[in-house]
């Protein structure tokens, strides 16, 4: 494999890491009012991701930075063309991050309700926007020869892209439920478990739909393999959930996500952002890749940096590995 | 306003705002790690109180720095896609490095630090504090490497009209970076030091006025105050020295920025330093500027002696026009500027006053720190009614100095986004006009929408952040120290055996 292809795979991997990690913490936010009926229960939910959500979000920042470094034309083309969805994504991520940190810092119901609203809205809107822009990069956008958008700011709202938005949100919701079943105890765990079982199949449907559309429109013969893996492990995850094997269900869901991401990026290859107007204007790996010197530099950084990240980020999850229940929540300690 | 103006206002507002949070985070994180180290080594409860209190204020601020930083990472591609395409081979690498090397460490170890009290051993927990605080410094290095490359492009060769990275080492050891990094870090400590000084002094003042006893808590506040003042004072000495080095470098690398900073219309030999203008600097015409000057001083600031010639705006403008062209290309993507004459002189009032406000506010806060050290020696604190409000007001000065410094350095680089090197220690022939850098596929309506939305959200969040900081400052140590006795009793009654310390020692 040449370096540009390696970096195409690394970008896919970074998005996979992001969707896996922030996927469940979006899900936790989405489920806040559903599974957290009392204040202490809502605090249980928030504290399952309290120490880790920020580290999860860095995967997005690094995915962006890595795209800039390795495929400037892709980074510039996608971000400027999907300007409004990215703006909305940034706004909700700002609100959500601040909400987690500030929610417990004043002890009044009104204060908490306000931040809860921000958390829930942002946790729904963010995966929708992520899904929208990821689908757009797979299915393409109306780009001219310079890589700039032709048409208004809403040309991104095509049917497949909207399906992608729904798919990422649906996956996040299911993934959040599986995570909570694994990380909590008591009533919250019970509800998360029941939620995952009851809504598992309907939530997987948009994901499967997205993969099939991608496969039929852009896919290669080999991408049927990850697609089938995604489908089978997704169902297997639900089966393990049904028998109460939370850990296995959560891991299998991760494998399903990996299958889905490989299918989508496999369908995208060798392009990075197709033009729906003229295939000659599509942005490809070869055209948008940085010089081999730059790619070599960032490869060294990634080769040493990424394993270290995986080790210490994994260690965080180990330190905070215990299930959390309402009895573990200390009294409010606010200014 | 056309697209370019909106994009520039958006970048300016979001970046200045982000840089209100960043210096406080960097400086305070290191100070808190230092306080925790003192606690670890001495076991003295006083340092634990300091760690907890200042750590809490740092966390309130840290969150804002993190979330506004994502905007920075993405808006190059969103609003400045032409820039991103042009410089991508060089500029993306330090950003990616910042993410992989610094952001992950910051976010992961901050989470461990916040939630890890009692879950981790004291030694490991302390190591987490140092990990995330040093990572903030590392991230400053990488982002300044990217910025310094825009001020002084090095380590590239031109291939097909675009800069190709040829030496990452040159980019990471750019002399502009080596001067800007210490200057920026000293600026961070000036902010954090004055912040600690201001709040702690206000606490001491308030206690004394309420006739509260000279107890241990007062000693801790007093100690905090003096630590802050020493840090601030030390930083200002560092700022003056590093600023002088940076200034001399800028006279070589961007002479027009410095000539504008002085409103130096005509070449002088020896050149005088303008202290304060009373003439009209609001017009771009530098002829009308009259100011109080110190003879020979500018020659010294620029070149380290009292006789060398310093070039004026007029001569430099002609030199630039001869070298980089008199008119913009007739490209429709340049909008109103297509085919127009290029104005090489940066906005004169902004550059001139930006430079003076940076130095002026810095000097005021240095004096405040010096005064604080003198008036509070030996546990003293002056009684007057104004000392408390004055202490709080002093917090603003290093923030303002930082803001004006950045406005000066970025506005002084105009009309370029990537500045050329007329006296090249960098690579000659690499430059880009700001007008060429903006996204061509984005409509002014979209950009206005994001500008309004981001500015409003930022405005609201600033109010919330200050509100929380005031509450914590009012609450003092009470509101940040774990209340042990009540915790234990509730655990016993509530959980029947499995204590909460086992799972969560802190929770949102």
Does the beta carbon of B442 lie under 8 angstroms from any beta carbon of chain A? yes
Does the beta carbon of A104 lie under 8 angstroms from any beta carbon of chain B? yes
Task: Tell me which residue range forms the domain holding B28.
Answer: 1-151+442-487
> pLDDT of B428-464, one tens digit each?
778 899 999 999 889 999 999 999 999 999 999 999 9
Instruction: Chain B: give the shortest CA distance to residue A134, in Å.
Output: 15
**Inter-chain contact A330–B504, Cβ cutoff 8 Å?**
yes
Bridge partners of residue B433, in order along the sequence: B416
Instruction: Name the residue of chain B whose CA is nearest to A302's CA.
Output: B100
pLDDT of residue B495: 38
| Radius of gyration of chain B measured on its C-alpha atoms | 25
pLDDT of residue B291: 76
In a domain, B463, yes or no: yes
Residues of B in contact with A148 (CB under 8 A): 81, 439-441
Q: Which one of B81, B108, B480 has the shortest CB-CB distance to A316?
A: B108
Could you say which residues from 60 to 99 on chain A have a Cβ atom under 8 Å away from some Cβ of chain B?
A: 60-62, 64-73, 75-81, 83-84, 86-87, 90-91, 93-95, 97-98
pLDDT of residue B305: 86
**DSSP SS3 for B341:** strand
pTM given for the model:
0.94
Residues of A in contact with B446 (CB under 8 A): 83-84, 87, 153
Structural domains in chain B (count): 1
Q: What is the mean pLDDT of each run of 10 residues along chain A (335 residues)?
A: 94 97 97 94 94 95 96 96 97 96 93 96 98 96 91 94 98 97 95 96 97 95 97 96 95 97 96 95 94 96 94 94 91 79
pLDDT of residue B168: 96
Phi, psi (degrees; rounded to nearest 5) at B385: -70, -25
Lowest mean pLDDT among B44-58, B262-276, B356-370: B262-276
**Inter-chain contact B454–A293, Cβ cutoff 8 Å?**
no
In a domain, B42, yes or no: yes
Topology of the domain comprising A3-294+310-324: Formate dehydrogenase/DMSO reductase fold (1.20.1630)
Could you say which residues from 127 to 166 on chain A have a Cβ atom under 8 Å away from some Cβ of chain B?
A: 144, 146-150, 152-153
Whether residue B493 is predicted with pLDDT greater than 60 in this model: the reply is no
Q: Which one of B74, B93, B506 has the shortest CB-CB distance to A69?
A: B93
CA distance B376 to B393: 18
Per-domain residue ranges of chain A: 3-294+310-324
> pLDDT of B186-201, one tens digit each?
999 999 999 999 999 9
Q: Which one of A47, A91, A153 has the shortest CB-CB distance to B446?
A: A153
Q: Which of B6, B96, B451 to mutate to test the interface with A (most CBs of A within 10 A)?
A: B96
Residues of A in contact with B130 (CB under 8 A): none
Under 8 Å between Cβ of B302 and B274 = no
Under 8 Å between Cβ of B312 and B267 = yes
**Which of B351, B363, B364, B357 shows the shortest CA–CA distance to B289?**
B351
Whether residue B489 is predicted with pLDDT greater than 50 in this model: the reply is no
**Inter-chain contact B508–A324, Cβ cutoff 8 Å?**
no
> pLDDT of B310-330, one tens digit each?
888 889 999 999 888 899 988
- Which stretches within B414-443 are classed as H helix? 434-437
CA distances from B137 to B9, B67, B105 (A): 27, 18, 11
> pLDDT of B130-145, one tens digit each?
999 999 999 999 999 9
CA distance B94 to B92: 6
CA distances from A128 to A16, A30, A86, B125, B414 (A): 16, 12, 11, 37, 39
Could you say which residues from 271 to 330 on chain A have a Cβ atom under 8 Å away from some Cβ of chain B?
A: 290-291, 293-294, 297-298, 301-302, 305-306, 309, 312-313, 316, 319-320, 322-324, 327-330
**Inter-chain contact A76–B84, Cβ cutoff 8 Å?**
yes
Whether residue B486 is predicted with pLDDT greater than 50 in this model: the reply is no
In sequence order, what DSSP letters do the residues of B69-92 get, joined into one string? HHHHHHHHHHH-HHHHHHHHHHHH
Instruction: Give the count of alpha carbons within 13 A of A208, CB side only.
Output: 13
**DSSP SS3 for B304:** coil
pLDDT of residue A147: 86
CA distance A215 to A204: 16
Does the beta carbon of B443 lie under 8 angstroms from any beta carbon of chain A? yes
CA distance A90 to B323: 41
Does the beta carbon of B446 lie under 8 angstroms from any beta carbon of chain A? yes
Furthest C-alpha separation in chain B? 84
Whether residue B296 is predicted with pLDDT greater than 50 in this model: the reply is yes
> pLDDT of B157-211, one tens digit each?
988 889 999 999 999 999 999 999 999 999 999 999 999 999 999 999 999 999 9
Under 8 Å between Cβ of B168 and B177 = no
**First-to-last C-alpha distance (Å) of chain B:** 44
Whether residue B503 is predicted with pLDDT greater than 90 in this model: the reply is no
pLDDT category, B334, cuts 50, 70, 90? confident
**Inter-chain contact B114–A51, Cβ cutoff 8 Å?**
yes
**Inter-chain contact B99–A102, Cβ cutoff 8 Å?**
no
Q: What is the mean pLDDT of chain B?
A: 90
Could you say which residues from 237 to 266 on chain B have a Cβ atom under 8 Å away from some Cβ of chain A?
A: none
> pLDDT of B407-432, one tens digit each?
999 999 999 999 988 765 667 778 89
Could you say which residues from 99 to 158 on chain B have a Cβ atom under 8 Å away from some Cβ of chain A?
A: 99-101, 103-105, 107-112, 114-116, 119-120
Q: Strand A283-284 vs strand A271-273: parallel, antiparallel, or unpaired?
A: antiparallel
């Amino acid at each position: 494999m040449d370096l540009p292809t390696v970096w195409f795979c690394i970008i896919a991997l970074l998005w996979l890491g992001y969707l896996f990690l922030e996927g469940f913490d979006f899900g936790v936010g989405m489920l806040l009012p559903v599974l957290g009926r009392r204040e202490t229960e809502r605090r249980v939910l928030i504290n399952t991701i309290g120490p880790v959500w920020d580290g999860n979000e860095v995967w997005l920042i690094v995915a962006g930075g890595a795209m800039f470094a390795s495929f400037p034309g892709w980074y510039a083309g996608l971000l400027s063309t999907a300007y409004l969805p990215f703006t909305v994504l940034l706004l909700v991520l700002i609100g959500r991050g601040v909400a987690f940190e500030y929610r417990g810092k004043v002890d009044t119901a009104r204060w908490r309700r306000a931040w809860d609203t921000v958390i829930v809205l942002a946790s729904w809107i963010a995966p929708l926007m992520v899904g929208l822009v990821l689908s757009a990069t797979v299915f393409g956008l109306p780009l001219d020869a310079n890589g700039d958008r032709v048409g208004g700011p809403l040309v991104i709202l095509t049917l497949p892209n909207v399906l992608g938005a729904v798919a990422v949100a649906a996956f996040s919701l299911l993934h959040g439920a599986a995570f909570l079943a694994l990380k909590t105890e008591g009533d919250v765990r019970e509800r998360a478990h029941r939620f995952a079982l009851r809504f598992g199949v309907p939530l997987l449907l948009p994901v499967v739909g997205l993969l099939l559309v991608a496969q039929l429109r852009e896919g290669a013969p080999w991408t049927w393999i990850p697609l089938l893996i995604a489908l089978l492990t997704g169902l297997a995850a639900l089966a393990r959930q049904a028998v109460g094997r939370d850990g296995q269900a959560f891991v299998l869901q991760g494998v399903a996500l990996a299958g889905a991401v490989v299918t989508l990026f496999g369908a995208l290859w060798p392009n990075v952002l197709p033009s729906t107007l003229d295939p000659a204007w599509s942005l490809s790996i070869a055209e948008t890749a940085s010089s081999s010197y730059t790619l070599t530099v960032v490869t060294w950084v990634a080769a040493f940096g990424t394993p270290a990240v995986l080790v210490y980020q994994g260690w965080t999850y180990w330190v905070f590995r215990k299930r959390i229940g309402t009895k573990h929540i200390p009294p409010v300690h606010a200014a | 306003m056309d697209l370019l103006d909106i994009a520039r206002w958006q970048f300016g507002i979001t970046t200045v705002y982000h840089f209100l949070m960043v210096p406080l985070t960097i400086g305070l994180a290191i100070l808190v790690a230092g306080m925790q180290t003192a606690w670890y080594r001495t076991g003295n409860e006083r340092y634990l109180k300091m760690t907890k209190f200042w750590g809490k204020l740092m966390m309130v601020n840290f969150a804002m720095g993190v979330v506004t930083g994502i905007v920075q990472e993405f808006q190059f591609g969103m609003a400045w896609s032409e820039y991103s395409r042009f410089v991508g081979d060089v500029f993306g690498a330090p950003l990616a490095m910042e993410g992989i090397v610094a952001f992950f460490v910051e976010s992961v170890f901050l989470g461990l630090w916040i939630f890890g009290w009692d879950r981790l051993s004291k030694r490991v927990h302390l190591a987490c504090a140092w990990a995330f605080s040093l990572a903030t410094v590392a991230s400053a290095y990488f982002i300044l490497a990217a910025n310094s490359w825009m001020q002084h492009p090095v380590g590239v060769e031109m291939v097909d009209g675009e800069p190709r990275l040829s030496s990452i080492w040159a980019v990471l050891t750019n002399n502009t970076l080596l001067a800007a990094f210490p200057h920026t870090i000293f600026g961070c400590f000036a902010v954090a030091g004055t912040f600690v000084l201001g709040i702690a002094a206000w606490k001491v003042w308030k206690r004394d006025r309420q006739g509260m006893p000279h107890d241990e808590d007062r000693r801790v506040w007093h100690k905090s105050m003096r630590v802050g003042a020493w840090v601030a004072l030390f930083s200002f000495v560092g700022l003056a020295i590093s600023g002088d080095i940076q200034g001399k470098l800028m006279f070589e690398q961007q002479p027009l920025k410095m000539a504008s900073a002085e409103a130096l219309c005509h070449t002088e030999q020896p050149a005088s330093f303008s202290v304060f203008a009373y003439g009209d600097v609001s017009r771009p015409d530098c002829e009308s500027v009259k100011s109080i000057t110190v003879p020979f001083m500018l020659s010294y600031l620029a070149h380290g002696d009292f006789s060398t010639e310093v070039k004026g705006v007029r001569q430099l403008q002609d030199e630039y026009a001869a070298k980089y062209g008199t008119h913009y290309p007739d490209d429709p993507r340049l909008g109103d500027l297509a085919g127009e004459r290029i104005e090489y002189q940066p906005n004169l009032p902004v550059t001139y006053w930006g430079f003076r406000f940076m130095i002026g506010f810095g000097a005021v806060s240095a004096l405040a720190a010096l005064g604080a050290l003198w008036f509070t020696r030996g546990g003293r604190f002056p009684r007057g009614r104004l000392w408390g409000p004055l202490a709080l007001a002093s917090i603003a000065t290093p923030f303002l100095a930082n803001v004006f410094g950045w406005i000066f350095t970025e506005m002084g680089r105009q009309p370029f986004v990537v500045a050329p090197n007329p006296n090249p220690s960098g690579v000659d022939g690499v430059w880009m006009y700001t007008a060429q850098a903006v996204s061509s596929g984005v409509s002014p309506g979209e950009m206005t929408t994001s500008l309004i939305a981001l500015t409003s959200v930022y405005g609201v969040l600033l109010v919330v952040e200050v509100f929380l900081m005031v509450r914590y400052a009012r609450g003092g140590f009470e509101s940040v120290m774990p209340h042990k006795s009540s915790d234990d009793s509730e655990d016993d009654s509530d959980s029947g055996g499995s204590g909460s310390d086992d799972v969560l020692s802190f929770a949102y």
